[in-house]
Structure 1
Amino acid sequence: MSIPAPFRRVLEACDPEWKSGDAPRLIVVYGDKRRKFLECFSVEAMDSVERKIAKLPRGSKKRKALQRLYLTQSIETTIDETGRLVLPKALREKIGLESGVMCAGNGDTFEIWNPDTYEEEIYAGLEEDEDFDPDVDPSEYLEGDEED
């Protein structure tokens, strides 16, 4: 799959070992059977996650769960010279990638989805509660007391 040039520049800038002409590194978190997508991190973004995990008490269930997800169930890979990310067959099969792919940006990470699964899951778990109505345009939640 092709990685857009602007994000390749981010991956390059966020890889402390990257030099011009090198392939930028990224980390692909695949997770267990509950994860229906792949989550891609720049090297610096994953370093931040690792620092947060290290602050948790050693041996705690939260730390173990986060270590398993972000450290054990992930791979480090690179973008090739044509700007493409080649996913191993096992990861493509895990999320059911056959012909199409859906990428969803999330700030300093992006997700890779099977397009059909993405459509099914995008609003899953967003049930209405006192602070959230899934039937309104989400941009309404950007309103606030922020200074311009």
Structure 2
Amino acid sequence: MDRFVSTFTNKIDAKGRVSVPASFRAVLERDAYASGGAAGIYCYPALEAPALDAGGERLAQKIDGLLAGLPDYSDERDELSVALYGDVQILSIDGDGRINLPEALRAHAGLTSQVTFVGLGDKFQMWNPEQFAERRERARQKVHQTRKLFGAGSRSSSGEDDGSEGARG
């Protein structure tokens, strides 16, 4: 299955347009083809960060799945619907691979002259480059602090050490 991966930084032109990375456009096109829809981008302000969440039909289906898990007419379902679908902008990709970022979305993410596109698997985010550099550093520090927990779980369940004994041959 296709995934949004890697990080790219592109310029925003005077009209608010930015080129979507070619690899991201390819994922969006395949996603649209598989679902029978058009290759557009669902884009909304991220709930937890000064960034934009974006993706294709798979992202919309994940949101539908989240909402389906909540009782009809519940406050939780209504609030999540407003927070996600209420702020969605469907962005068209022009013939040159660009999207026009509406002012409200640019303001939420603090986007002025550049956008950093960050692949997150089934979706991607758009960040102010400086804010993303800080976010990336925090993520790396956290992973560094917790990585021993990941390795310890796999070694303890398999009963193996780190493999250094086998290297002596």
Classify the TM-score, shorter chain. Answer: 0.7 to 0.9
Is the Cα contact below 8 Å between 1:38 and 1:112 reproduced in 2?
yes
Letter in 2 for 1:136: H
Gaps of at least 5 residues in structure 2 are 1-17, 159-169
Residue type at the aligned position of 2:75? K
| Conserved? CA contact 1:26–1:42, under 8 Å | yes
Cα distance, 1:138–1:99 mapped onto 2, change above 3 Å: farther
Q: How many residues align?
A: 133
Q: Does 1:27 align with 2:35?
A: no
The match for 2:37 is: 17
Q: TM-score, normalised by structure 2?
A: 0.65
User: 2:44·2:105 contact (CA, 8 Å) conserved in 1?
Assistant: no
Instruction: Label 1:31 to 1:106 Cα distance change in 2 as closer, same or farther (>3 A).
Output: closer
Higher helix residue share: 2
- Evaluate the alpha carbon distance shift between residue 138 and residue 113 of structure 1 in structure 2; reply closer, same or farther with a 3 A threshold: farther
Contact 1:31 1:73 in 2 (8 A): no
What residue number does 1:73 align with? 87
Q: 1:54 aligns with which of 68, 80, 96?
A: 68
Alpha-carbon separation, structure 2, partners of 1:85 and 1:135: 33
1:8 aligns with 2:8: no
- C-alpha distance in structure 2 between counterparts of 1:141 and 1:111, whole Å: 27
Q: 1:67 to 1:134 in 2, by over 3 A?
A: same
- Unaligned stretches of 5+ residues in structure 1: 19-23, 127-132
How much is the aligned-residue C-alpha RMSD, in angstroms?
Answer: 2.8
Identify the structure with bigger relative contact order (alpha carbons < 8 Å, sequence gap 6+).
2
Match of 1:64 among 63, 78, 84: 78
Percent identity of the aligned residues? Answer: 27
The answer to whether the 8 A contact 2:43-2:89 is kept is: yes
1:135 & 1:51 partners in 2: Cα distance? Answer: 28
Pairwise CA distance, 1:52: 2.6
Q: Which has the higher strand share?
A: 2
Mapped to 1, the partners of 2:146 and 2:30 lie a distance apart of 31
